[in-house]
Chain A
């Protein structure tokens, strides 16, 4: 009997071992995937119950949780809603989220792995759940300057600190009020969301880093110039042919300079420096075709084209097409053809040049602090890539200074400060309004800020607007906001 009893005991222990295992698997190993199951309403209730951490820009609170006094416990509030919508995005426990609210959700809600010990402490000490505070790199003064300068135009401004990669401003217009998506009444929120989706201005799209990307136009010449100088075969004073029109090989379509004549005040040839200064298309088409698309693509990719990036908002990758024939390469050399770029990308081009050819990884999150003010995550500047030698960067900078002081980008001039800049006026197809660009940095000798401005729909002027007329003055305001600090 004892032998049998021992065997039965083993069976009982085995039965319990199975229970110890099954409960462990559910509560520990599968806990994350079970919590993520959309049918798990506990997760949903928790997200309401948690006091999410605030989002701060400088000393301003740009998103915070406020007690609702009802069963939902908390909802999100955005004090300067429209000003920061491109940064904060919105958060609604049932209807989704965007922006920093989405990208930093696990830290803001207090569920990230970094906060595991915090959470244990919290349970033991019986404190209510609370998420971490996220300090963004945005400078409220710069953000406000960019927002005001863009006014009612459709477009975007992105400003970067060149030597660190900190994003100082990110504005997208038209904007929206994230407060109307943060409420606890699902029906109202869904109605508001649908209205925003159907709005022709697409306010939910953050044009700084996503959306239907624009051709960068002449601002892309900075990339081509980098490729040329880095090749060792070209110098700023290298002369390029300067005809009034150029029919690309194998096509019937002629290419013109913006003034429909010879560029840079005439002459059979023009230097690369002057081609940048006066934004000449034909010499750059010629230069690009001589370099070949592979060389341009390689340089563009070092600036960040064709690469996805997370700041930690996910950035749509800017495009330099993989295969181009010779005429397409010519067109791509002044940012046409199928070249597409985000304002962040063009700000990165300026930032790379401004930082002596070392491009810093752009980022939007400065610091994350836990409930006891301990730093969970900081901003550590890191190089994304080396875009050129310091000499190349200096050559391009000089041409950009000349462009602002007495070239094609004069509307970005600031008294007493040397501004380096490049305009772009990109075509979107015959008859369609232009896309207007400006990118640059200041002060040129010790850059504190690099900026890119894009204005869509021709700034309301169809094909009559230009980067210098509309985008450069916006950039000027942003640069001034940094320099005045």
Chain B
């Protein structure tokens, strides 16, 4: 008697569930986003009160505009990727906002206003970046399309990397030739976007070739080493990184590319030998570079001997590094409070040293909160790999998430003397348009892939 009723009801319930279940993820996201907006606007207000003692509504409304754009992205996700991870967007929204507040605070200290202000440009770039992310979400309805164009992405990454070396459009800033632009009007670091193209290329390439990279080879000292001819790809990537070091004078980017590739090939093949070969190659290359290239050598000196007066006084010496560390120390546990410290003493406080600026005014507590946000973000990216889904998507998310982790490590580690400082951007925080656009695209791709995966059936790993 009851059986027909149940059948009729299940079809309705099924349809409703299709609509409802995804909404729970998006509703969570919305709740967290509202929290992120409150934090962002509160930070701008605190900066104004701390630095000038008065409220200026211009920047508040600009921040609100960005919030509206993020809400637009959120709405897009409701239709185009309803099951996407709910933590990624709120985390980057709040990081982006913290960055803008600190850059704005430094503008106030330096007296920059209007288009001369880093914060204005950062907000515009943020808007462009969010729109780019929306576009990616809407255009790339299934990330497996990217797999089809593996080699196109590989080639475009290569071209993008070469662009700054072309006369006419290539530009050198602070010694690194990684920019393209016409005059001062438009500057862009194609390497930032190349990073994404490379990640797609690596993921596609490794998924195709991992059998030959992992199965064939000789065992030595208990570790299976690959055949010589299979070394081709890693040697090419290594050569590419070394080219970046030598011709573009950009140690950080080289480290980033190479680290990304090594981790992806390791996860794809499960062979530790690739990590050993990779570390050996890069270590050797970096050692030679540190001896033969003066700028690399200088970076190492600044790192090892930062407090020596000689290194401190040298051109391109540790002056900046120490000022950043003094700023961090000045902040102490709880910081001076927004607008109350003196982060502007450190040169490049809004880009390379943004974490030192934040540490000075928000203290160790603030830095821990920011690092924790990054850690959760990266964790959510790696988590995709533990889900049920296609290997290309999983490998791509790992590569992208690891890039963010590595960039944070290289920048924060560089400022705090864990490793030599190299010029990268701290993702989402630091002033810089190319980096913002690239990182928001990474977010879009992670959102896209996370929408396609399902929790594992035998929930072995409860993420």
Using a CB–CB cutoff of 8 Å, the interface residues on chain A facing chain B are 1-5, 8-9, 11-13, 15-16, 18-20, 22-28, 30-31, 34-35, 37, 39-43, 45-46, 120, 123, 126
Contact = CB atoms under 8 A, between A and B. Distances in A.
Interface string B255-290: 000000001001110100000000000000000000
A123 B334 contact: yes
Nearest to A123: B334
Contacts of B391: 1
Interface stretch (B72-80, B172-180, B367-375): B367-375
Contacts of A42: 326-327, 330, 341-342, 345
A196 B289 CA distance: 56
Contacts of B367: 23, 27
Nearest to B405: A12
Contact of B332 (A27, A45, A126): A27
A481 to B, nearest CB: 47
A1 B394 contact: yes
A31 B408 CA distance: 23
Nearest to A24: B364
Contacts of A37: 307, 322, 326
B267 A8 contact: yes
Contacts of B378: 12
A42 to B, nearest CB: 5
B371 A18 contact: no
Contact of B382 (A9, A19, A45): A9
Given A8-B263, A19-B413, A27 B359 contact: yes
B417 A22 contact: yes
A19 B416 contact: yes
A37 B306 CA distance: 13
Contacts of B460: 2
Task: Tell me what chain A mostly uses at the interface: helix, strand, loop, or mixed.
Answer: helix
Contact of A1 (B267, B342, B363): B267
Contacts of A46: 330
B334 A20 contact: no
Given A8-B402, A35-B329, A1 B270 contact: yes
A20 B329 contact: no
B337 A123 contact: yes
Residue of B270, B326, B386, B405 ringed by the most chain A CB atoms within 10 A:
B326
B447 interface: no
A400 B337 CA distance: 64
Interface string B323-342: 00111111111101100011
Given A23-B359, A123-B337, A12 B402 contact: yes
Contacts of B331: 27
A229 B32 CA distance: 86
Contact of B329 (A31, A39, A126): A31
Interface of B: 263, 266-268, 270, 307, 312, 322, 325-334, 336-337, 341-342, 345, 359, 363-364, 367-368, 371, 374-375, 378-379, 382, 385-386, 391, 394, 398, 402, 405-406, 408-409, 412-413, 416-418, 460-461
A3 B374 CA distance: 23
B279 to A, nearest CB: 12
Given A8-B267, A16-B409, A27 B333 contact: yes
Residue of B268, B405, B461 ringed by the most chain A CB atoms within 10 A:
B405
Contacts of B416: 19, 22-23, 25-26
B85 to A, nearest CB: 16
Contact of B333 (A8, A25, A28): A28
Nearest to B50: A126
A120 B266 contact: no
Contacts of B364: 23-24, 27-28
A26 B323 CA distance: 12
Contacts of A24: 364
Residue of A2, A26, A120 ringed by the most chain B CB atoms within 10 A:
A26
A126 B312 CA distance: 35
A120 B412 contact: no
Nearest to A35: B329
B367 to A, nearest CB: 5
A189 B277 CA distance: 63
B329 A2 contact: no
B340 to A, nearest CB: 9
23 contacts: A1-B268, A8-B263, A8-B267, A12-B402, A15-B413, A16-B374, A16-B405, A19-B409, A19-B416, A23-B328, A23-B368, A26-B328, A27-B328, A27-B332, A27-B364, A28-B333, A31-B332, A34-B325, A37-B326, A40-B330, A41-B342, A41-B345, A126-B337
A411 to B, nearest CB: 59
